[in-house]
Each structure stands twice: as C-alpha cells, then as structure tokens.
C-alpha cells in the first residue's frame, strides 16, 4: 500500500477527536482473511478510542474460533435485529475483504440503506468505486490483512500488539494458502517477520488452523479424494462434487470443505481444480489453479462469480448436474 491521499483521509477520520460509533463487517462464509482483517481493524479502532462493533455475517469455522476478538463479535445470522440496530446506530460502516454490498447478499437487505459513512478495505478485483464513500483497494496485495497491517503501520504503529498480529498473521497465511499464492514479492514476508517480533507463535497458530480437523472432517477429505475425484487428464483439470447428503453423512459443519479444493493441485498434471458442493440454499463453486492458469475468468464468465487468478468462487442457483455441465464446458473452452 502506498501512502496516498486515501490513506491520509482514512487517518484523519480515525484520528479525529470525535469518538465514532463504528461497525466493522466482512463477507459471508468468513475465511481467515475475512476474520483476520475485520478483527485486527476492530481491535485497532477500539484501542484508539472508538466505539466498535464487529459483525460477522454467518457461522465461524471452528478452527478460527480461537481468534482474538471473536467472542466479542456478533453473528448477523444469529441476531438480525440487534445487528440491524448496531448498523443503523453507527456513523461509520467499514467492510473488509469484499467490495460490494450487493454481492454480499447475506446482509444486503440491511446494509443497502445504511446512512453511515461507508468505507471499504479490500483486495479483490473490480471494486465498485461509486458504492463507497471511501474505497481503499489494492488488488496486488496478498490479502486484505496485509492492507490492514499497512494502515495501522501508517496511522499509529504503537497500537500493534500480539492479538492484532495474530489476526493479521492468520489472514495473510491462509489467503496465500501458506504462501503458495502471491508469494513473488517480499512485503508479506517482511510483515510476517514483524508479526513474529510482536509475539506471534507461528507453530501454535498453524496447529490451531491446520491441525485441528475433527475426525469427521478428516474422513470427508479422504472420501472426497478417494471416491469423488474426477480427473480430466488431457485438460490438466480435476474436480470433486459433494452432495448435501454426503456432507451430512460426515456431520458437516461450517468450514469442513475448506482446503479440499486445493488438494487435487498436488497432482503433477493438475493445473485447475474445482469443488462443487451442494449447500442448503445454493451450490458453492470453488476454484483453484497453479501459477498461470486463470480461474477468476472462469468463475466470472461461466458462473457470475469472482475472486483472484488462482483462487475464485461463485454461488450457483441450479442443479448439481447443471453446475457440472457448465464447469465441463468452461474447462473445454478455456484450457
Ligand atoms: Mn482475502
């Protein structure tokens, strides 16, 4: 992040004498970066004296429940009324790790009408400039948590502490898939060094995030690979389809399918990997790829989704069969 005019504006808002009522929120199905960026920013804003409420749209995966600040956050799904009133009482509304309220369907009913000054901090492509009062967007960074680090570093680095560092660490480490993506520039590594100096215990946190499968979740991973993997060798593609019934068989909980989509990329000949999983209200499409293979275009063009070149996704409202047909067509046409 460069110290541009927008950062100066953000600084003047955050450092103003007025004690603001701020709501910080993030995207649905929160991942490590969504939680890391929103929790780190929330803690920073509280420390500099603002009244802050953090609203997470829906269930938090169990392997992120240890994160500092989680217990003080509200889950929109669990209490619409309270969250709506927190949003309408706020004078600043901040969204991290997504850039369009209309695309964050879960809360759009209440946030479309927000009166608060709206700020977006994000790293996804095509941010809608006119949707926000202040848009801080950098699509080249590893994660939104990296931007949050630079914002705190720019505004008031004395506020960094172990808790903020743990949140930012989680965001960067998970959004880069342990530095598999976005690892060709040095800044995120420099940040990691500083986070360790702030007290992050890398081994402890990596175990909390990655070595914390339940027995059921681990068996679901094995089942997905052994029984459900489709390999299209001449296209360098692989995909897995999981039905709602299969997920239930393994006592599905939020976060259980996280990581499955990346597994087929371990195969030498696989460059593109997809997971199609049936949820109660929709079909979730997850896409991953190796270096030069662009799955964002696939997500956008064929499923009206989005994301990054090596990690994208979409929600699909149709049958599993249709989702599979479209995926096969896309692979056929693009690769
Ligand atoms: Mn992110």
DSSP secondary structure of 162-180? HHHHHHHHHHHHHHTTTTT
Q: What is the structure's pLDDT at 129? A: 87
Overall domain count for the chain? 2
Final residue in a domain of this structure, among 149, 178, 209: 209
Q: What is the structure's pLDDT at 4? A: 86
Helix H segments across 131-214? 144-155, 162-175, 187-197, 202-210
Cα 34 to ligand 1 centre (Å): 6
Cα 198 to ligand 1 centre (Å): 22
Cα 97 to ligand 1 centre (Å): 5
Q: Which two tokens stand for residue 320?
A: 């599993």
Q: Which two tokens stand for residue 208?
A: 């909390």
| 3 state DSSP class of 315 | strand
pLDDT in tens, 2-26: 668 999 999 999 999 999 999 999 9
CA distance 77 to 107: 9
- Domain co-membership, 280 together with 199: no
Whichever domain contains 297, its CATH number is: 3.10.310.30
Q: Is a pLDDT exceeding 60 seen at residue 324?
A: yes
- Domain co-membership, 68 together with 158: yes
Q: For strand 237-242 and strand 311-316, is the pairing parallel, antiparallel, or unpaired? A: unpaired
- Domain co-membership, 311 together with 261: yes
Cα 233 to ligand 1 centre (Å): 30
Q: Is a pLDDT exceeding 60 seen at residue 297?
A: yes
Cα 33 to ligand 1 centre (Å): 5
| 3 state DSSP class of 270 | coil
Q: What is the structure's pLDDT at 188? A: 96
Mean pLDDT to the nearest integer, 211-232? 98
Q: What is the structure's pLDDT at 111? A: 62
Cα 180 to ligand 1 centre (Å): 14
CA distance 197 to 313: 35
How much of the chain, in percent, has pLDDT values that exceed 70? 95
- Domain co-membership, 203 together with 233: no
Number of H helices, E strands in the chain: 12, 12
Cα 98 to ligand 1 centre (Å): 8
pTM here?
0.93
Residues 6+ apart with CB under 8 A from 128: 99, 100
Cα 127 to ligand 1 centre (Å): 13
Q: Is a pLDDT exceeding 60 seen at residue 105?
A: no
Instruction: Give the chain's mean pLDDT.
Output: 94
Chain centroid to CA 19: how far?
29
The position carrying tokens 């060709």 is: 184
Cα 99 to ligand 1 centre (Å): 11
CB 225 within 8 A of CB 192: no
- Domain co-membership, 305 together with 180: no
DSSP characters for 280-330?
SSSEEEEEEE-TT--HHHHHHHHHS-EE-SSEEEEEE-S-HHHHHHHHHHH
CA distance 194 to 165: 9
Q: The domain containing residue 118 runs over which residues?
A: 5-209
Mean pLDDT to the nearest integer, 38-66? 97
Whichever domain contains 138, its CATH number is: 3.90.1640.10
Cα 104 to ligand 1 centre (Å): 14
pLDDT in tens, 126-185: 888 888 999 999 989 999 999 999 999 999 999 999 999 999 999 999 999 999 876 678
Mean pLDDT to the nearest integer, 68-93? 94
Q: What is the structure's pLDDT at 14? A: 97
CA distance 108 to 100: 9
Q: Is a pLDDT exceeding 90 seen at residue 316?
A: yes
pLDDT in tens, 224-252: 999 999 999 999 999 999 999 999 999 99
Final residue in a domain of this structure, among 190, 209, 228: 209
Cα 112 to ligand 1 centre (Å): 22
Neighbours of ion ligand 1 (CB under 5 A): 33, 97, 143-144, 175
Chain centroid to CA 57: how far?
12
Residues 6+ apart with CB under 8 A from 255: 61, 62, 63, 64, 217
- Domain co-membership, 156 together with 261: no
Q: For residues 189 and 108, which has the higher predicted lDDT (pLDDT)?
A: 189
- Domain co-membership, 113 together with 175: yes
Cα 234 to ligand 1 centre (Å): 32
Cα 137 to ligand 1 centre (Å): 12
Q: Which two tokens stand for residue 309?
A: 């070149």
- Domain co-membership, 193 together with 226: no
Q: What is the structure's pLDDT at 112? A: 62
Cα 174 to ligand 1 centre (Å): 9
The position carrying tokens 């696939």 is: 298
Cα 146 to ligand 1 centre (Å): 9
CA distance 65 to 200: 17
Q: What is the structure's pLDDT at 183? A: 65
């Amino acid at each position: 992040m460069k110290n541009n005019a927008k950062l100066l504006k953000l600084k003047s808002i955050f450092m103003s004498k007025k004690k603001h009522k701020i709501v910080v929120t993030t995207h649905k199905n929160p991942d490590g970066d969504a939680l890391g960026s929103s929790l780190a920013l929330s803690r920073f804003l509280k420390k500099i004296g603002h009244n802050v409420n953090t609203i997470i749209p829906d269930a938090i995966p169990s392997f992120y429940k240890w994160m500092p600040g989680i217990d003080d956050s509200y889950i929109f799904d669990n209490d619409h009324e309270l969250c709506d009133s927190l949003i309408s009482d706020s004078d600043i509304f901040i969204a991290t790790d997504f850039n369009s309220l209309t695309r964050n369907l879960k809360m759009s009913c209440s946030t479309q009408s927000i009166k608060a000054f709206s700020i977006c901090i994000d790293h996804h492509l095509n941010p809608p400039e006119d949707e926000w009062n202040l848009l801080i967007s950098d699509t080249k960074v590893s994660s939104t948590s990296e931007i949050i680090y630079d914002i705190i570093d720019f505004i008031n680095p004395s506020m960094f502490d172990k808790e903020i560092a743990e949140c930012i660490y989680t965001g960067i480490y998970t959004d880069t898939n342990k530095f598999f993506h976005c690892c060709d520039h040095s800044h995120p590594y420099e940040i990691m060094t500083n986070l360790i100096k702030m007290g992050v215990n890398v081994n402890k946190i990596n175990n909390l995030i990655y070595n914390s499968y339940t027995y059921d979740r681990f068996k679901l991973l094995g089942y997905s690979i052994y029984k459900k993997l489709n390999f299209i060798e001449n296209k360098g593609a692989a995909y897995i389809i999981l039905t709602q019934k299969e997920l239930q068989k393994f006592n599905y909980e939020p976060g259980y399918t996280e990581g499955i989509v990346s597994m087929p990329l371990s195969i030498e000949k696989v460059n593109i990997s997809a997971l199609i999983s049936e949820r109660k209200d929709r079909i979730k499409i997850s896409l991953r790829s190796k270096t030069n293979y662009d799955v964002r275009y696939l997500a956008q063009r064929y499923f009206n989704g989005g994301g990054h070149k090596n990690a994208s996704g979409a929600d699909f409202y149709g049958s599993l069969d249709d989702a599979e047909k479209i995926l096969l067509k896309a692979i056929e046409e693009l690769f």
